[in-house]
Amino acid sequence: MIPCPHCGPRTEIEFVFGRALEAAHAHDDPAAMMRRANPAGWTAEVWRHIHGCGAWIVVERNTATHAVKGTRLPEVPAP
Amino acid sequence: MSAYRLADGGAIDRDRVVRFTFNGRAMSGFSGDTLASALLGAGVMLVGRSFKRHRPRGVLSAGPEEPNALVGVGEGGRFEPNTQATQIRLYPDLIARSQNHWPSLGFDALAALDAASALFPAGFYYKTFKSPLRAWPLYERVIRALAGLGEPPKLPDPDSYGERFAHADVLVVGLGPAGLAAARAAAEAGLRVIAVEQDFRPGGALLAAATRINGAPSDLFVDQQASALREAGARVLTRTTAFGVYDHGLVGLVERLAEPGQTPSGAIAQRLWKVRAGRIILAAGAIERPLTFADNDRPGVMLAHAGAAYAQRYAVAAGRRVLFVASSDADYAALDALLRCGVSVCAVIDPREMAAIAPPARVIAARAGEHRTETTVIGALGGARVEGARVRRRGVDGTLDGDAMLVAGGWTPTIHLHAHMRGALAYDAARGVFLPQSETDTVRAVGACAGVASTAQCWRDGWRAGADAARALGRSAPDDPSPEIDAPLDEHDGFALPIPPRGADKQAFVDFQNDVTMADIALAAREGYRAVEHLKRYTTLGMGADQGKTSNLIGLHALAATREATPGSIGLTTYRPPFTPVTLSALAHDQTGANLEPTRRSPIFDDLVAAGAVMQTSGLWLRPRYFATHGETLHEAALHEARAVRTAVGVADASTLGKIEIAGPDAGALIDLAYATGVRTLQVGKARYAVMLNDDGFVYDDGTIWRLGAERYLATASTARTAGVLQRLTFLRDVVAPHYDVDVFDATEAWAALVVAGPRAADVLRATLGDVPPMAPQAVVETPALRIARISYSGEHAYELYCRPDAASALWRNLHAAARAAQGALYGLEALEWLRIEKGHVAVGAEIDGRTSATDLGLKAFIKKAPHAGARAAQRPAFTAEGRWRLVGLRSAYGADIPEGAPLVDDAGEQCGRVTSSGFGVGVGGAVALGLMRDGPAHHGAIVTAASATRRRHVRVRVGPSCAYDPEGARLA
């Protein structure tokens, strides 16, 4: 289950993975775009609630257990 | 009545005879039988031939671990190969046949392979068929003909399969004593409970034992528990297997409403359940292992507790003179059940000395013919059926007569579902098994699969788990009713480690299904395959339909013995779902054929069909390829349609185009970020062609942007790219620029889109809509019901008309009538392709293939200098390096059609590009194509060959500018 900030807790099949949050913020930096920390543990990713509100959200996920800690709306990146 | 069916007892209904056929022979069993028990009851011991060596095989087990008794059942589309006879509930008119033999089960010519088995040790084909290399195709043909088990069904499955989602506080897997207790405790506490049992009867090990509970046979107790569960609101699913546990408590169940090969009585044959469970209580029990002696695979050698199950539950004797081979005191419980059922046991064989055997076990054995202690079995006698045992006592060999051997080699806990969630396992050296070390987040193992040995303890362990689940959810846990369980030898540990298998006997089978012997394991170890995963892949130990349920642990012990290591230090192979085979039809359920994905239709689909449209798919959409009004071929129709557009007027449906509305104070800013083409200067009432790049800098899509108001835009996207463009726009808005105040809305289905193109387009528009003010190129007019833009894809004077879907049919018919009056025609995708190719317009999937930059496609003029998504990536050096394949136009030098997709080959014979799209240019009068060619624009005027090896066609083509027709755009003015 992934708690969508807009829609509440919804099953994972309603969502689609986008990319790691760090890669999302580096979307226009070709050098950084392909770099991944790829941790075995907690990481932040952007997912889209494609079969729900359609919004992109930040999902805190554990790559080792697939546990989801929480979600939030993306913040304005620092300039 | 056959000599093998016992006179009384068993949970079968002797008044209900069930007729079936096996290999064409008419037979009968009783309601309550499995196919295996019915065959055994009818005296059929030989049921199949083994995979590699074609050795005769019989029923080994009474459950889902069965490696031998694999049969094909059913007929036609319902035929199902490799089905375990132990798992099929007997039904009327069942048709079963044995596998892997020729010409017949009794006489199998390929059994010669067994005599030649020295030629086929583990990994033989890696070694044997290496040279000469060119002979491999021949080897492969022969090997493939011999390989494989069972035949796939040749007809489509006629049955329907269902899918259901469910939620549960507690899912209990397995309804033996531990599972029944867990489910009851949880259900009585008021939790939502789903309890599943793969058998068609709950009870588990109780069904095979002479256990009495509360002073009555355990059957009665089991039935009481099952009804108490249902009364407490639990969902009890029998004949249902939990085949896999996945993240977040997701469990896959398959419920078999019809047996394999059976015509379903209801709407569906099987149901796939996807259960989200808060907790999973795993009470899957344990599986008995065979013993490893020479010819231990002879039909008639059976697991001891399977023999007890056939006697107790089905009233079937495995043989008339049974040899019982025990390893520990607990095994004598099975002997007790056999003797109580009236099975004639002529000898009990035990490797231990009499003093080491528990007195109650000795008392039971005294009821059998004789008790041979300090005796080990070193081989089985007989061929198609066991005829006796070779035994050794204190170094002296002898033989014992018998027609069945029931062997007890210790128990392996069924920990698969615990391991699916990567639950930790610990090796119990004293008992030689792996046990769940701790609970995972969701799975708690109880009872025999957690190493709990006795029936009474299993009940208590299960109850505790159910009660704990209740307390964890804030419910008060009910008290354990503590049933009085009277099971012989219940206090003795059935997991006691038997003598570890040793030796390198090539007739001593470990994995029956894959014909892996002790010799194969020794060979693998000798050749360096000493890791357990290597052992598995080199010998195929633990592969196949049974996935080594009876063999993996024996193989691990044998491997450990070759290395003087412990199984704990070597570890197990990875457990993966499914626990038992699941038919693909169940996994696909109703998502097949037309239900596989939705079909999207234009709002005027019926009008298109009525006008003779021949449809083609475009993503999920159906779009007209051409209109066959008078039975024209594709080429004839496209020629007629394209000519109409060039010379008079054409009308087309473009409703599948993506239409994305972008509105809000920052709409312009978002478009500026998302598109590489500048739109800041775009005025209200104007449209502009625009290019979108991907983050990697390559072209992603192209379309038009219409400015409808100060803060209101419409962006069109290619049919196949609409979802992706929407994804990109929302990503940029939500993640990259969340401070923008802008809405993005997919309005694709809110508008129908019709196109009028050709020199007489303005006349048709006026004839249809009345007075339309003259529109300059790129002009946009908006009324509440209609949006019109003067934009062109065909290279002619053209309009795109957007209207409400329910008004589209009338508009389409009026436009069609007006076009006909102007000598025009309807046109489809094929004609549109021809038109855009000679005009040099690129398309997604052909030229825009994710590897072409804006410069490659000749779109540099549409790329702004200001920052936009993908801009920095597009500045990487490779984007401007020499030698890139770039867009060119191709004309057929001598008139022949240009093969689409063909490589372009220069006169030196080197490939220099490829044809991306090809058609007939009605404007230029000849075959035209677009292609990508190395430094293409530098080679205008050159002649190269479009060489299609697959179509065996070589066509000389002249390279030129991409736009062959009206390059000045005079016709658009």
Q: Using CA atoms, how far apart are residues B651 and B260, in angstroms rounded to an integer?
A: 55
Q: B488 pLDDT band (50/70/90 cuts)?
A: confident
Report the C-alpha gap between B624 and B193 in whole angstroms. Answer: 53
Task: Name the token pair of B178.
Answer: 């531990």
Q: 3-state DSSP call for residue B265?
A: coil
Query: Is B2 a residue whose pLDDT tops 80?
Result: no
B875 to chain A: closest CA residue? A30
Tell me the percentage of chain A whose pLDDT exceeds 70. Answer: 96
Backbone angles phi, psi at B449, to 5 degrees: -70, -15
**Closest CA–CA distance from residue A51 to any residue of chain B (Å):** 12
Cβ of B481: how many Cβ atoms within 10 Å? 15
**How many whole angstroms separate alpha carbon B541 and alpha carbon B535?**
7
Q: How far apart are CA B253 and CA B256, in angstroms?
A: 10
Instruction: Give the mean pLDDT of chain B.
Output: 94
CA B905 to chain centre: 42
CB contact under 8 A, B248 and A75: no
Question: Which of B247, B696, B734 lies nearest to residue A56, judging by beta carbons?
Answer: B734
From A27, A54, A67, residue closest to B730, measured CB to CB: A54
Measured between CA atoms, how close is B710 to chain A, in angstroms? Answer: 25
User: What are B304-354's pLDDT values in tens digits?
Assistant: 999 999 999 999 999 999 999 999 999 999 999 999 999 999 999 999 999
Instruction: For chains A and B, count residue pairs whose Cβ atoms are closer than 8 Å.
Output: 62
Which residues of chain B have a Cβ shorter than 8 Å from any chain A Cβ?
A: 247-248, 276, 441, 695-697, 727, 730-731, 734-739, 867, 869-873, 876
Q: Which amino acid is at B911?
A: Q
Mean pLDDT of B493-499: 77
A73 to chain B, any CB pair closer than 8 A? The answer is: yes
A20: tokens are: 């790691």
> How confident is the model over B867-888, as pLDDT tens digits?
999 999 999 999 999 999 999 9
- Which of the four pLDDT bands, split at 50, 70 and 90, describes residue B126? low
* Closest-CA residue to B111 (of B386, B103, B125, B508): B103
pLDDT at position B156 over 80? yes
Q: Which of B172, B120, B163, B195 is nearest to B268 (CA)?
A: B163
Residue contact B735–A54, C-beta within 8 A: no
- Model confidence pLDDT, tens digit, residues B565-582: 899 999 999 999 999 999
> What is the DSSP secondary-structure string of A5-67?
TTTEEE-GGG-EEEEEHHHHHTTT-HHHHT-----SSEEEEEEE-TTTT--EEEEEEETTT--
Closest chain A C-alpha to B162 CA, distance in angstroms: 19
CB of A53 within 8 Å of a chain B CB? The answer is no
DSSP B420-467: HTT--EEEETTTTEEEE-S--SSEEE-GGGGT--SHHHHHHHHHHHHH
Interface contact A10, partner B, CB < 8 A? no
Q: Are B100 and B515 in contact (CB under 8 A)?
A: no
Coil/strand/helix, residue A68 = strand
Return the pLDDT at B498.
Answer: 67
What's the token pair of residue B126?
């890696």
List residues bridging with B219 in a β-sheet.
Answer: none
Chain B residues in contact with A54 by the CB 8 A cut-off are 730
With an 8 Å Cβ cutoff, are B731 and A55 in contact?
Answer: no
Nearest CA in chain B to A76: B738
**A29 inside 8 A of chain B by CB:** yes
Give the pLDDT of residue B107.
80
Three-class SS state of B168:
strand
Task: Check if A28 contacts B (Cβ < 8 Å).
Answer: yes
Tell me what pLDDT residue B119 has.
67
Q: Which residues of B813-844 are buried (b: 16+ CB within 10 A; e: fewer)?
A: eebbebbbebebbbbbbbbbbbbbbbbbbbbb
Instruction: Encode pLDDT of B946-971 as tens digits.
Output: 999 999 999 999 999 999 999 999 99
Q: Please determine, for residue B125, whether its predicted confidence score (pLDDT) is greater than 70.
A: no
| DSSP secondary structure letters along B842-906 | --BTTTBSSS--TTTTT-GGG--SS--TTTTGGGSGGGG-TT-EEEEEEEESSSPPPPTTPEEE-
- Using the 8-state DSSP alphabet, how is residue B294 labeled? B
| pLDDT (mean) for B378-389 | 95
Q: How many Å lie between the alpha carbon of A62 and the closest alpha carbon of chain B?
A: 12
Task: Report the pLDDT averaged over residues B238-248.
Answer: 95
pLDDT category of residue B924 using cuts at 50, 70 and 90: very high
| Residue A78 pLDDT exceeds 80 | no
- The whole-number average pLDDT for the span B108-114 is 77
Distances (CA, A) of B234 to B262, B455, B791: 28, 23, 65
Q: What is the model's pLDDT at position A76?
A: 80
Residues from chain B that touch A47, judged by Cβ atoms under 8 A, are none
- Would you call B735 and A74 a contact, using CB atoms and an 8 Å cutoff? yes
Contact A33 B873 (CB under 8 A): yes
Place of tokens 């023999």: B307
pLDDT over threshold 70, residue B691:
yes
What single string gives the DSSP state of each residue in B53-72? T--EE----SSTT-SS-EEE
- CB-based contact (8 Å) between A74 and chain B? yes
Residue with tokens 């057929």: B892
Contact B736 A1 (CB under 8 A): no
Q: Is the pLDDT assigned to residue B238 strictly greater than 60?
A: yes
Whether the predicted interface score ipTM is above 0.90: yes
Q: Which candidate, B130, B148, B146, B117, places its Cα nearest to that of B523?
A: B117
CA B882 to chain centre: 46
Say if the Cβ atoms of A18 and B731 lie within 8 Å. Answer: yes
pLDDT at B59 over 70: yes
End-to-end CA distance of chain A: 33
Does B1 have pLDDT greater than 60?
no
* DSSP secondary structure of B472-483: HTTPPPPPP---
User: What are the φ/ψ torsions at residue B225 (nearest 5 degrees)?
Assistant: -65, -40
A24/B contact by beta carbon, under 8 A: yes
Given an 8 Å threshold on Cβ–Cβ distance, is B695 in contact with A18? no
Q: Which residues of B touch A48 (CB under 8 A)?
A: 727, 730-731
> Do residue B441 and residue A65 have CB atoms under 8 angstroms apart?
yes
The minimum CA-CA distance between B898 and chain A, rounded to whole Å, is 38
Query: Could you please report the per-residue DSSP string of B119-147?
Result: G--TTHHHHHT-SSGGGHHHHHHHHHHH-
> Per-residue pLDDT for B110 more than 80?
no
Partner B contacted by A52 (CB < 8 A): no
For residue B815, what are its two tokens? 């436009």
Mutation for B interface: A25, A56, A65, A75, most B CBs within 10 A: A56
